[in-house]
Each structure stands twice: as structure tokens, then as C-alpha cells.
Chain A
Amino acid sequence: MSGVTQYARSVADRVGLTALGSVPLRYVIPAFFLAALSIPTLETSYFFLNTAIYAFLFIGLGHAWNIIGGYAGQISLGHAVMFATGGYTTAILFNYYGVTPYVGLFVGGLLAAGVGLALGAVTFRLRYHYFSIATLAAGLGMYVVFLRWDWVGGAVGLEYSLSEIGTAFSFAFRDRTMYFYVMWAFALVTTLFVYRLHTSKLGIYLEAINADQELAENAGLSAFWYKMYAMGLSSFIAGVGGGLATQYLLYIDPQTTLELIQNVEFVLIAVIGGLGTVLGPIVGALIYIPTREYTRTLLGGTHTGLDWVVFGTVLVLLSIYKPDGLISRRPVIGGRSNSADPEPDGGRKDE
């Protein structure tokens, strides 16, 4: 396999994926997370803590999407499916079967991974925008089903009973700062995981497949199975994140987890920050979530839609000027770039 690794690396080199990188991540990541631990001591207002909690939750969710969308280059517009699977599993296990969320979160992640793999098995037969359309249809399809499925609460959704909150068993806290530490841990673990992935063989293979799938397959990589691998990992993280979101909100409904817009948030965070980078989702979440919370609060709290006009404009501008996000890709591995001019098109025009 080392020959393949070598080849994949040269493919990645050829298309300029190994440019830039001056501050070592092994200093940046610990410094950031250690500093972040002090957030709850700075201020404890609802707005501030709520924003911080969501920011760290979405660092993890941004990583989840980044694995499949940034590293493997598969633009999934249906990641809310896995997010909702994790959330609903956690809530259903707790509400109907009395299973503690400590277990439920994990089961939700596994089930989300299963759903993600099933979705991938179908949609990875498609490429480019055909893949995006199929995943979008899957996401919207699940929305339609869950709106009318009584067992999962239909349009009303599922709620945790108030008497359960604050017990060790329910993993639901009265104190908001506890939630912050939980999300902080989620963000840390996913960041370390992606840091590991970034320099692993899998990470390099995914970037090679992203850069030029035909070339990667000629080198002996099975694009389909490596995409499936990435989808499984991405879905597991998205599922656990969905469970954590449910634990924080103490309810789950289709509108807030499965509507079209929910599929876009993951993409936005990875794209704002930087695709296929470890720091991308962190930067993306730290920009996106405070902006989202601020515009919503500023505009009266009710859903006027103006926030989405802003983010839509951001997406259009990013797609024109910075389609790879604010942070450029960091070196896949040691070597130097042969080409300074990235060409991430994947050879689409050749067909």
C-alpha cells in the first residue's frame, strides 16, 4: 500500500493541495481549547453562554461535514438526516425505553453511521451535482416522513419531561455551564480526530480522490469504499452532535432539525472556515454561530428571514472569491508543493 500512498501524495501535490502552513497545529489547537475553558468564567448571561454552547457544538458538526464535503469533496446537502437520526434516537431511547443518554448518544451515533452508509451506498454511485441533488432529496424526504410519523411525535416532536432534568441519569443539566463543557469536549475530541485524519493515509486518499477521482482509481484506490469510510465517520459525529443538541434543547422536532436550512448550516461552517482543513470548522463556527445568534436577537428574535438573506449573500460572495474558504488547505504531509495554482475541479470538464 505504500506505493499507493506515495502516488496519492503525488496526486495531491500535483494539484497544489500542499501549499501554505506556518503556525503548527499542535500549538494552535491546545492553546485554543485551553483558552476556551475560561469562557464560562468570563460572563454567564444567557446570550453569551448559549452562543458559546452552539459554537462548540457546531465546531464538531462542521468537522463532521468537512470530512465528507471538504476532504472527500462530496457536497452532501443531506447531513441533517444523520443529525436528526442521532437526535431522535437519543430522545426515543430515553423517553420510550428509559435508556440513559450516555448510552443513547453512542447508539444514536452508530445508527446515524448506519443511515449514512445506507445513504452513501446509494448516492455515491452519483457524482458532482447529481450527488448533491440526491442527498438533498433524501434530506427533504426524511423531513416529509418525520412530519407525519406519530411514533416520533409528528410535527410536534418529542419533549423531555421537566422532572427528569438535573438527574445524573438524564444527562440533562439545569446549569448551562455544564452544557458548555460537554460541547467543549465534543469539539475537542472531533478536532483531535480530524487532526489525526488529516495526516493519516485515509485523509490523503480522500484528498486524492477529491483532487482527481480517475487518477486516484488508476492508482488503485477504491473511490467508492473510501467515500463510504468517510461517510461512516462523518455520520457518526453528526449523529452524536444531533444527540447533544437534543440534550441541550430538551426537545426535538422536524422543523428545527430537518428543514432544508438545517442541511445548509453544516456546509456554511465548513465553507466559511476552510474546506479540508482542521482549523476550518473551528473558524467557521466561531464566525457563523455568533453572527447567527446576534442577527436573530438583533432582529427581534422572531424568524424574519433577514439572517438568511445575509448568509445567502455570504455564500454567493464566498463562492465567487473564496470557494475554498477563508483558510487554505494545509500541507497534507511534509512535502513541498510543486504547483502554486490549485485546480480543485476534479477534471470534470474532461467528460
Chain B
Amino acid sequence: MFSLLPNAIVDGLLIGLTYGLVAAGLALIWGVMDIVNFAHGEHMLIAMYITLLTTAEFNVDPLLLLPVNIVVMFVIGYATYALIIKRVMDGPILGQVLCTFGLLLVIRYGIMYVAGPTTRTIDSFVFAGSTTIAGVSVSFPRVLTALVSIVTVAALYYILEETKVGKGIRATAQDKQAAQVLGIETDRIYAIAWGIGLAAAGVAGTMVATFFPVQPEATPVVWTISSFAAVALGGLGGILGPVAGGIVIGLVENVGSTLIDSSYRQLYVYVVLIGALLYRRETILNGVSG
């Protein structure tokens, strides 16, 4: 049991970085406009299925779909805000929860209707395979996914800190009225935040599909709840908090599975989520900055 611990830690760190990336996308949307995207895992599922179906049909490598998915998910995010979320923004909280929950159902079961309820895995991937380093088995797709996650998080950090759009997002998160007075089109900023948030999930979805079996009903909930937990741990004060939270969640899940019982791996995440929500309930929301 303990001999498997190094393996669990490595796996936890690797997948945790991707949890962090997905959570950073969720936190960006959540932090800037106080809306929780219950369909975040389902949005990620779109990128997964684009990857799986395209690679199966046209025999292209998943990595080539990365830029495609970034663009597609950005557009979906932008449109989701402009067409739907914008209309429930100022309404009751119930409307907001119902709205993203409705999106969850539409996307999840829409994909299931089109692609079927079967579990899918990738056919071929250039970087498939694994090696053993110092007694720890390391899978190449997982390492590559973690690397891509790090690069994407760095890019998100750069966008938020250095670019004009990023400064607009942070300003809007801090004070919407003041941002409007200063000439920032907050509606556009919100739409861009949705675009970036979902594009981050799109990157993660593309990469994760290379080694993770995907099923429309079972897969998204894992990612949604993991990112909720990562955000609850890391707070909404920036994107690095959720990333750190994601790594913790990855470790909790994998170490818990190894030491206690692997069939309850999701349960450890649920427990951490509820605990973190209670412990951090006063301090989760602190505006968005890098």
C-alpha cells in the first residue's frame, strides 16, 4: 500500500495541475461576475468529444486539435454570455443556478444523444506510452498534459496581469460601476471572461481526452466538482489560488485512493469541497487579480 505512495503522489501532482487549469477558468468567470458555472465540466466535455470524434474519424493527432478547441471554446463561452447569461445576470440567484444547470443538461445529454452513452478512449496518440523512473511509473500523456496545463496557466496569468483586456477584467471584478465610468465595456469584458474561462477548460479537455476514458454522464461531474473544490480551497482572489487548490485536490484524490480505498476517490473530493466551503466561507470571494 505504502509502496504505491510515490506513484500516487506523482499522478496526483500531474492531474492536479490540470484540475488547477480547469478551476482557474471557472474562478475567472466566478470571480469577475459572481456566477457559478455548474456546466463547467460539460463545457470541457465538448472539447473532449471534439477531440475524440475528430481523431477517430480523420485520424489526426489530438495535439493538432488544441488550437481548434481553444477557438471553438472561446466562441462558445463568448456566445453563452452574450445570448444567455447576460439575461440572468441581474436576476435572482435561483435563475442563475437554474440557467447554468439547464446548460449542463442540454450539453451533457445533447452529446450523449449525438455520440451515444458509450465510454470512449483515444485511438492513437503520438506521445502514448509510459516509462519507469526510480520505481515510479510515469505516463507520457499525463506528463505532457501537465506541461500544457502549466503553459496555459502561465498564459492566463500573463493575460490577466499584463494585457489591456486582463486589466479590464480585474477592474470590472473590483468595481463594475467604476470600470464603466472609466470607459470599460463591462458587457464585453464579461463575455471575454467567459470565452477565456471556457478556452482554459477546452485546453484541459483536449489534453485529458488523450489518456482519460470519457463518458457523457460520468466524466463531467468529476471535473466540475474538482474545480469547485479547488476554488473553495484556493479562493477566487486570482488564478494561482485555484491552481494550488487543484494540485491539493489531485493529491487528496490519488493519495486517498491509494491509502484508503480507490472506489471512493470522488468521495474524498466531496468531503474536501464541503469542508473548504465551510472553513473559507467568509474569504472565498476577494476579487480577481493575478
List the A side residues contacting B95 at CB < 8 Å: 319-320, 323
* Given contact pairs A129-B36, A130-B277, A141-B271, A308 touches B109 in the complex (Cβ within 8 A): yes
- 265-286 of chain A: CB within 8 A of chain B: 267, 271, 275
Of all chain B residues, the one with the shortest Cβ separation from A73 is B94
Interface centre among A77, A134, A307 (most CB of B within 10 A): A134
In the complex, are the beta carbons of A345 and B93 less than 8 A apart?
Answer: yes
CA distance in complex: A312, B108 (Å): 10
Contact of A312 among B88, B102, B216 (CB under 8 A): B102
CA distance in complex: A75, B36 (Å): 13
- 88-147 of chain B: CB within 8 A of chain A: 88, 91-99, 101-110, 112-113, 117
In the complex, are the beta carbons of B88 and A320 less than 8 A apart?
Answer: yes
B257 at the interface (CB under 8 A from A): no
How far in angstroms is the closest Cβ of chain B from A348?
6
Which of B50-58, B157-165, B237-245, B259-267 is the interface stretch? B259-267
In the complex, are the beta carbons of B221 and A140 less than 8 A apart?
Answer: yes
In the complex, are the beta carbons of A313 and B102 less than 8 A apart?
Answer: yes
How far in angstroms is the closest Cβ of chain B from A230?
16
In the complex, are the beta carbons of A305 and B113 less than 8 A apart?
Answer: yes
In the complex, are the beta carbons of B113 and A306 less than 8 A apart?
Answer: yes
How far in angstroms is the closest Cβ of chain B from A118?
12
In the complex, are the beta carbons of A344 and B98 less than 8 A apart?
Answer: no
In the complex, are the beta carbons of A271 and B264 less than 8 A apart?
Answer: no
Tally of contact residues, B, Cβ under 8 A = 46
List the B side residues contacting A313 at CB < 8 Å: 102, 106
How far in angstroms is the closest Cβ of chain A from B233?
13
A133 at the interface (CB under 8 A from B): yes
- Chain A interface, >50% SS class: helix
Of all chain B residues, the one with the shortest Cβ separation from A261 is B105
- 175-233 of chain A: CB within 8 A of chain B: none
A103 at the interface (CB under 8 A from B): no
CA distance in complex: A144, B109 (Å): 21
How far in angstroms is the closest Cβ of chain B from A300?
12
B228 at the interface (CB under 8 A from A): yes
CA distance in complex: A348, B278 (Å): 19
A114 at the interface (CB under 8 A from B): no
Of all chain B residues, the one with the shortest Cβ separation from A123 is B274
Instruction: Render A327-349 as a binary contact track against B, CB cut-off 8 A, 1 for contact.
Output: 00000000000000000111010
In the complex, are the beta carbons of A315 and B98 less than 8 A apart?
Answer: yes
* Given contact pairs A271-B98, A316-B99, A320-B87, A125 touches B281 in the complex (Cβ within 8 A): yes
In the complex, are the beta carbons of A319 and B99 less than 8 A apart?
Answer: yes
List the B side residues contacting A320 at CB < 8 Å: 84, 87-88, 95, 99
A298 at the interface (CB under 8 A from B): no
CA distance in complex: A75, B96 (Å): 11
Interface centre among B34, B87, B98, B271 (most CB of A within 10 A): B98
Of all chain B residues, the one with the shortest Cβ separation from A127 is B281
In the complex, are the beta carbons of B105 and A315 less than 8 A apart?
Answer: yes
Interface centre among A264, A275, A319 (most CB of B within 10 A): A319
* Given contact pairs A129-B93, A137-B274, A345-B91, A315 touches B112 in the complex (Cβ within 8 A): no
A132 at the interface (CB under 8 A from B): yes
Tally of contact residues, A, Cβ under 8 A = 52
Instruction: Render B35-49 as a binary contact track against A, CB cut-off 8 A, 1 for contact.
Output: 010100000000000
Interface centre among B92, B108, B228, B266 (most CB of A within 10 A): B92
How far in angstroms is the closest Cβ of chain B from A162?
30
List the A side residues contacting B263 at CB < 8 Å: 148
In the complex, are the beta carbons of B109 and A128 less than 8 A apart?
Answer: no
In the complex, are the beta carbons of A144 and B106 less than 8 A apart?
Answer: no
A174 at the interface (CB under 8 A from B): no
B153 at the interface (CB under 8 A from A): no
In the complex, are the beta carbons of B264 and A148 less than 8 A apart?
Answer: yes
In the complex, are the beta carbons of B281 and A312 less than 8 A apart?
Answer: no
In the complex, are the beta carbons of A122 and B278 less than 8 A apart?
Answer: yes
Of all chain A residues, the one with the shortest Cβ separation from B101 is A315
Contact of A304 among B87, B88, B107, B113 (CB under 8 A): B113
* Given contact pairs A140-B221, A141-B270, A306-B113, A264 touches B101 in the complex (Cβ within 8 A): yes
In the complex, are the beta carbons of B102 and A314 less than 8 A apart?
Answer: yes
How far in angstroms is the closest Cβ of chain B from A185?
31
In the complex, are the beta carbons of A144 and B270 less than 8 A apart?
Answer: yes
CA distance in complex: A140, B273 (Å): 12
A37 at the interface (CB under 8 A from B): no
B189 at the interface (CB under 8 A from A): no
In the complex, are the beta carbons of B106 and A316 less than 8 A apart?
Answer: yes
How far in angstroms is the closest Cβ of chain B from A242?
21
* Given contact pairs A309-B105, A323-B91, A126 touches B281 in the complex (Cβ within 8 A): yes
Of all chain A residues, the one with the shortest Cβ separation from B30 is A129
List the A side residues contacting B277 at CB < 8 Å: 126, 130, 133-134
CA distance in complex: A73, B217 (Å): 28
In the complex, are the beta carbons of B274 and A316 less than 8 A apart?
Answer: no
How far in angstroms is the closest Cβ of chain B from A298?
14
In the complex, are the beta carbons of A275 and B273 less than 8 A apart?
Answer: no
CA distance in complex: A309, B111 (Å): 9
CA distance in complex: A58, B216 (Å): 27
Subset of 15 A-B contacts with CB under 8 Å = A77-B97, A123-B274, A126-B281, A130-B277, A132-B97, A137-B225, A144-B267, A275-B94, A312-B107, A319-B96, A320-B95, A323-B88, A344-B92, A345-B91, A346-B93
**Beyond A133-B232, A260-B221, A308-B109, 5 extra complex contacts between A and B, CB < 8 Å:** A267-B98, A309-B105, A316-B84, A324-B92, A345-B92
